[in-house]
Amino acid sequence: MKYFIQPRAYTNSVIVLSIALLLPLLSGCIGNGPAIHEYALYSIPEHGSVEQRVVLKRSIMLMPVGLPSINTNPALLLRPSLPALRPSATHLWAGSLQQQLTRVLAEDIRRRKIMQTVLTFPGPRFAKPDMLLEVKLTRFDGDLNTGFTCTGIWTLSDNQQKHVLTHQAFSATVPVTTGDYTGYVAAASSAIAMLSEKIGAYMVTPAPKQP
């Protein structure tokens, strides 16, 4: 009986040589792709003096900001007209947009020096904030020419008495002054600052006296 042995060493050498020849071509294809740009929201300093601002000796916890499902995509969203919506392939949010919104909104509220303690969920262990702030955005996008639009609803609750203090709608459109993605992010950050301003204004408004 005769046996035939397959020349595996020769076959393996051919495979290794083929991969070695293809790697430079694949690297060239990857390296020539479009550049990716990442952006982060940031807190906007409040204009004007805050020296006479009364700090409420209370604590507030901001829950994670709710977003439309389309905004879970890391791409910056362009809306040249309603209802058209186009995600950018090369301009992205640097990390979770929900986390950025929650962090920046909390920073903006702190800057206003209204509340003594501003926490973000889940906060420190065993935290029992006096108030809870819930924000649900229904739109967070814009256009490089017309402006950035932010709409939503915010709810402020008394966490000690377990009842809702107010439930309000919010809407703001901020011009994109530079006409580019840097201006887009600046306008988005300004819209969040405007939301914090509205929330802060409610906090310092005296409650109506009971008859």
CA separation for the pair 14, 189 (Å, rounded): 57
- Quick one: pLDDT at residue 4? 46
Burial of 93 (0-12, 13-18, 19+ CB in 10 A): buried
Here the tokens at position 98 are 């929900």
Indicate if the pLDDT at residue 204 is higher than 80: yes
Cis status, amide bond into 83, omega within 30 of 0: yes
CA separation for the pair 171, 194 (Å, rounded): 9
Tell me the per-residue pLDDT of 138-157, one tens digit each, with 9 for 90 and over.
Answer: 999 999 998 999 999 999 99
3-state DSSP assignment of residue 174: strand
- What count of other Cβ atoms lies within 10 Å of the Cβ of residue 87? 15
3-state DSSP assignment of residue 195: helix
- Quick one: pLDDT at residue 51? 52
Tell me the per-residue pLDDT of 68-108, one tens digit each, with 9 for 90 and over.
Answer: 999 999 999 999 877 889 999 999 999 999 999 999 999 99
CA separation for the pair 211, 201 (Å, rounded): 24
- Contact predicate 135/62, CB 8 Å: yes
Residue 52 — φ and ψ, nearest 5°? -95, 10
CA separation for the pair 149, 171 (Å, rounded): 7
Tell me the per-residue pLDDT of 6-54, one tens digit each, with 9 for 90 and over.
Answer: 444 444 444 443 444 444 444 444 557 899 999 999 999 876 555 556 6
CA distances from 46 to 43, 109, 112 (A): 9, 10, 7
- What count of other Cβ atoms lies within 10 Å of the Cβ of residue 195? 24
Cis status, amide bond into 124, omega within 30 of 0: no
Residues 6+ positions from 155 with CB-CB distance below 8 Å: 133, 134, 135, 164, 166, 167, 168
What the chain holds in terms of domains, given with CATH numbers, is 41-204 (3.40.50.10610)
Residue 48 — φ and ψ, nearest 5°? 95, 175
